Amino acid sequence: MAFLEKLLGKKKPEVKARCPITKEQIENGFGYLLTTAQVIASKKYWDMIMTEPETLSYSVSHFKNQESGTRMRSLIFEKYSSVEKPWMISDSCINLFDNIDKKSAKDLAKKWWETAGQFTPANAGNALQVMDPGSYQSFKDYAVLEAGRSRVILH
């Protein structure tokens, strides 16, 4: 058996990536690598997140001035803004992020693939720790108080 292992070589486990938004598999060498700060700075991203089937009821409650909906939206923001690892975003989702340099994000993704997922870009980590407090609060206010307003129908 040792002879066969030497002959065939030990296979390293293949690095895989899934877009955290769509859950679609991203092929080796593709995708865009973003930091949590870049992700939470996107209004389009928050409009989508706060109107997904799993979160829509909280948004409806929030826009009906029910404190429980606002509290849940705040918890959702906290969950996403505290992600430590960089985000590997698929081609189908990158247009949610107007505020980024796509070429740079693609280059960072290539580095991530080349290092078998070990590369971490500068300013990665919990957005509260890497952003200035004013910007963080501004994005939080949008995500919690405004995101999805135009998509929510109140009866």
Any domain includes 36: yes
pLDDT the model gives residue 67: 97
For the chain, how many structural domains are there in total?
A: 1
Residue 138 included in any domain:
yes
- Please check whether residue 6 lies inside any domain of the structure: no
pLDDT at 8 over 90: no
pLDDT tens by residue, 81-109: 999 999 999 999 999 999 899 999 999 99
Per-residue pLDDT at 101: 96
Cα 66 to Cα 3, 15, 62, 72: the distances in Å are: 68, 44, 5, 10
Question: Does some domain include residue 8?
Answer: no
- Provide the token pair at 67: 């404190």
Which residue in 135, 83, 108 sits closest to 30, CA to CA?
108
Euclidean distance between CA atoms 91 and 98, whole angstroms: 13
Locus of tokens 């606002």: 70
Whether residue 121 is contained in a domain is answered as yes
- Confidence at residue 153, expressed as pLDDT on a 0 to 100 scale: 80
**pLDDT interval class at 120 (50, 70, 90):** very high
In a domain, 7, yes or no: no
Q: What is the phi/psi pair of residue 87, to 5°?
A: -100, 125
| Domain boundaries, position 72 | 15-151
The dihedrals phi and psi of 102, each to the nearest 5 degrees, come to: -60, -40
The reply to whether 4 falls in a domain is: no
Would the pLDDT of 137 be above 70? yes
Taking the alpha carbons at both ends of the chain, their separation in whole angstroms is 69
The pLDDT value given to residue 110: 97
Look at residue 30 and tell me if it is in a domain.
yes
